Structures are given as structure tokens and as C-alpha cells.
A and B are shown apart, each in its own frame.
Chain A
Amino acid sequence: MSASPAHPTPVTTTLAVADRGHGPLGSLVRHGWEGFRVGIVDAPWMLGVRAPDRGRAILVITIDGELAVAVRDAVPGGMAVVRDGRSHDGDAIAAACLPWPWMVVGSAVTLTPALASLLRNRPVLTFWLGDPPIGLPSHARCFDRPAALLDAVQRACTASVGGMRLAPGSGVELEDGTLLRSATLESLIAAYPRGFALPARTFRAVADALARHNAGWSPQRDGAEGTTLVRAAARSQR
């Protein structure tokens, strides 16, 4: 894992953008009551849901946002931010989740090529309600009932493997109290005992970090489950 500092979160000055294009707050807002036309303002890039952030994020992509509201209620306070996306802006919201969304939940929408590529190349927990769209990775989990999906979301947030658990907001707290900042490790812990059908190089940095901290666990390819966490002792026996 690199010790170099990560890039700072980009900042957009919304009023400056408004001023350039439309005069002082001109066409951004139109008539204002009841959060008027929040989803269809002239400048949808200004919606808060598209603001870049490095916190743990759950991107929920649906037609109407109802599932996102339910997911938000299911997530324990402070563990993750739920980002309510639609099929037309799912890509943009996913790009704003840095380094990538921890979890993507979807229902009744198609996957854009960019989002499908992200899900196939990064260890993103992928939960789907109903029939899966084309392009979902093989490690995606599909659910028939919302209650089962919400239960899985809750379990992922509170997962614990060998004393390692998700820290509030971001990172992983190891058994010895060390806070390890690794999006990949967060995904491995939340997915356990399942894994990710991704190349071994995706997990090399996590393996090195866990070995450095004598965590007793390491990512390893485990047949049908893909790459998952296994006890270091078990690993040496294989």
C-alpha cells in the first residue's frame, strides 16, 4: 500500500458556477417551495448527492428513490452515507464516491457501461432487488424481497471478521485498535464469507497490510466464492 497522501477532495463553488452561466442564482432555481424541482433543476450537477466525498458510500440506483429511503433507515447511524441515484445520474454519483462506492444497490434499472465496468473491476458490494440487469458481476447478490436485501445491507454494515470491523464513516478497526484505511479491506470484511470475482492483484495491498499488522487473516481465492478473507494459518496449509 502506498504511503503517499491521497488526492484532496475537489471543491466546486456552486455560486461561481451559477454566476458564470446564469447570473446571480438565475435559472438554477426557478420558483422555490417544497424543495421545488430538486431532481430536475437546470444544473443537476449541483445536487448534493453528486458532491465528491471520501466517506463510505452506498449508492442506491432506482427509478423513484423509494428503496434508497428504506436503505437509509436500515443503515446504522454514522456507518455509511446513502446516495440516492437514478439511472441517468448513477454514473456521475458513482464517480463522486471516492475511491469508489462501498456498496451499490439497485432495482429495476439497466446498468450503464461505465457503471458495469466499475462493478466488474473494483471490489464493490453489489446487491440487486429483482431481476438482475445485464452486466452485473458474478459476485453480485440478488434478492426477491426488499426485507431480505435490507437485512443484508444491515449485516454488511455491522460485519466483523477476526476482530476486524468497519469503523464509523471509513476505514477498518483491527483487533488491536489500529485504524486501517483501505476501501478494499472494508469490502472484504462486509462481504465475508463471500468474496469477489476479481484478479488477485486487486487484493495484494490488503494482504501486505494485514501481514504487517499480524492480523491473522489474508485475502485468498476460494473457488466459487472468489477472493475472500481466510485465516492466515489456513492459508499456509493450502
Chain B
Amino acid sequence: MRANPEVLILEDDAETLDELQSHFTRKRFHPLGARSASRALSLLENNRYSSRPVLAIIDWDLGKAPDRTASSGDVLSRLARELRECPVIVYSQNIDAFNVRSQIQRSHPRALLHDKRDGDASLLERIDRMLDRTVGDLRIHDGTVVVHLPTLDQHHHREAIRLVVHHPDIVTFHSDTATKAVRRFGEWLHSHNSAVRLVSHGNRKYRLSATAPEVVAPDGDA
């Protein structure tokens, strides 16, 4: 059984939201679409025990939102606090303005920024570059599997996809189940003699490396 990874989309324009949702559905992701920030917060709350999105796409400007009881900043802060491992793309017409960028960074220090003036196609291209990634001899296929290219063997767990999407960044995993899945993925890489290795940074933090360093025990101040 494959669990399609979720993607959170917050976009106040109904037409653009439909387009984004269709795009992710075609790529076999499960889109969690919201036209308002409060709806996005509800989606995160309702899915908190069942899943954690592998990507969030956030429109900073919510002028057309049907419900204005929450802001995009609230969603970003929630993502930064509770879903740190989820990459976030924030797009806005005013992304060049330093005060907008500063507000976004204070809400989510790791958020990636995108200029809405470049058009929807540019955003989709960037998303595809993130999600259809090739790292060493691994490639994500259909958003649901990691393929080892030399053998075409597949690994299906969403945490493996999360690691590949994040490469070379560190990902923090928040449950024993996720951590065990990550270790199994590490063993799978080893058994396939993959050029990619799993590197543990302790405290449930992992990243992928094409040239894996040997990891030693943490010191007192790390």
C-alpha cells in the first residue's frame, strides 16, 4: 500500500488553487487545499496525527480569502513550530519589499521565497524541481516512491521522500515510527550499495549525503 504524501496549499484565488491542486493530483500527491488561513490551520490540526505534509505552498497575500480570521503569517508560524521538516514556499507580489520578507522570515525562518509576478508556471516549475529530484542514484517518482536508478528498486515510505526532497538539508523527525522508517531507508540504501548515505545528526535529525561521513557521538555542547 502506498501513502500518497500530502501537500498543503494556501491560495485565496479559487482558480489558482484549482490549478495547483490539479497539478499535485497529477503527480500523485494528495493536495490539502485551503482558500483561507483558518481553513489551512484546521487542515493541519485535523491531519496532525495521521500525516505531515511534505511540502507547503503559501500565498502571502490573502486579500480574496473568504474568511479573514487568520493570516498567512499564522499558518507559517504554525508550520515553523510544529512541522519544521516541511519545506515551505511563500509567494507574493511584494516579495522584493524587505518588510514583507522580514515578516515572512519572522513567521518562518526557513521559508523559501517566490515572486508571484513570475506567474503560476514559474511556481509550478520550481515545485517540480523540488519534488522530481534526483539525488545521487536516487530519484523520486510520482511523488510516492524513491527509485534506486541502477536497480530500479523502489522504496515507498513518505519519510524517505521527505529526506530526498530536503537534500542536502537536515530533517527532524518527530516520532519513533518516522525515525524507524528513516533507519530502514538507511539500511535499504546500504543494501543497494547506493551512492547516497543516511547521516544522523542525533536528536532525530537526519540528512542524506552522497559522500557519507562517519558520525561520532555528540559532545556536550552540540
Contacts and interface: CB of A to CB of B under 8 A. Distances in A.
Interface of A: 1-3, 5-6, 8-9, 11-15, 25, 28-39, 41, 46-49, 51, 53-55, 64-66, 68-69, 72, 78, 81-84, 99, 167-171, 173-174, 176-184, 205-206, 209, 213
B106 A182 contact: no
B114 to A, nearest CB: 15
20 contacts: A1-B218, A1-B219, A9-B203, A11-B82, A33-B62, A33-B68, A35-B71, A35-B76, A37-B71, A48-B77, A48-B107, A82-B109, A83-B109, A84-B105, A168-B168, A178-B214, A178-B215, A179-B199, A182-B219, A206-B219
Nearest to A212: B216
A10 B217 CA distance: 21
Contacts of A33: 61-63, 65, 68, 71
B205 interface: yes
Nearest to B111: A48
B137 interface: no
Given A64-B99, A69-B98, A32 B71 contact: yes
Given A1-B219, A48-B79, A65-B105, A170 B69 contact: no
B199 A35 contact: no
Interface of B: 36-38, 41, 45, 60-63, 65, 68-74, 76-82, 84, 94, 98-110, 168-170, 172, 174, 199, 201-205, 207, 211-222
Given A29-B70, A39-B106, A65-B99, 10 more contacts: A29-B38, A34-B72, A38-B106, A68-B105, A69-B101, A72-B105, A167-B213, A169-B205, A178-B214, A183-B222
Give the secondary structure class of A's interface.
Answer: loop
Contacts of B102: 64-66, 68-69, 84
A97 to B, nearest CB: 10
A14 B82 contact: yes
Given A25-B41, A33-B63, A55 B170 contact: yes
Nearest to B80: A48
B105 A177 contact: no
Contacts of A205: 219-221
A18 B63 CA distance: 24
A15 B45 contact: yes
A168 B81 CA distance: 21
B81 to A, nearest CB: 4
B100 A35 contact: yes
Contacts of A167: 213
Contact of B203 (A2, A8, A177): A8
B172 A99 contact: no
Given A32-B70, A170-B170, A47 B107 contact: yes
Contacts of B68: 31-33
A38 B145 CA distance: 37
A169 B169 contact: yes
B211 A177 contact: yes
Contact of A181 (B63, B80, B218): B218
A169 B207 contact: yes
Nearest to B88: A48
A66 B98 contact: yes
Report which residue of A13, A82, A171, A206 has the largest number of chain B beta carbons within 10 angstroms of its beta carbon: A171
Contacts of A178: 213-216
Contacts of A55: 170
A25 B69 contact: yes
A47 B211 CA distance: 36
Given A8-B203, A47-B107, A173-B213, A181 B222 contact: yes
B78 to A, nearest CB: 5
Contact of B38 (A25, A48, A174, A180): A25
B59 to A, nearest CB: 10
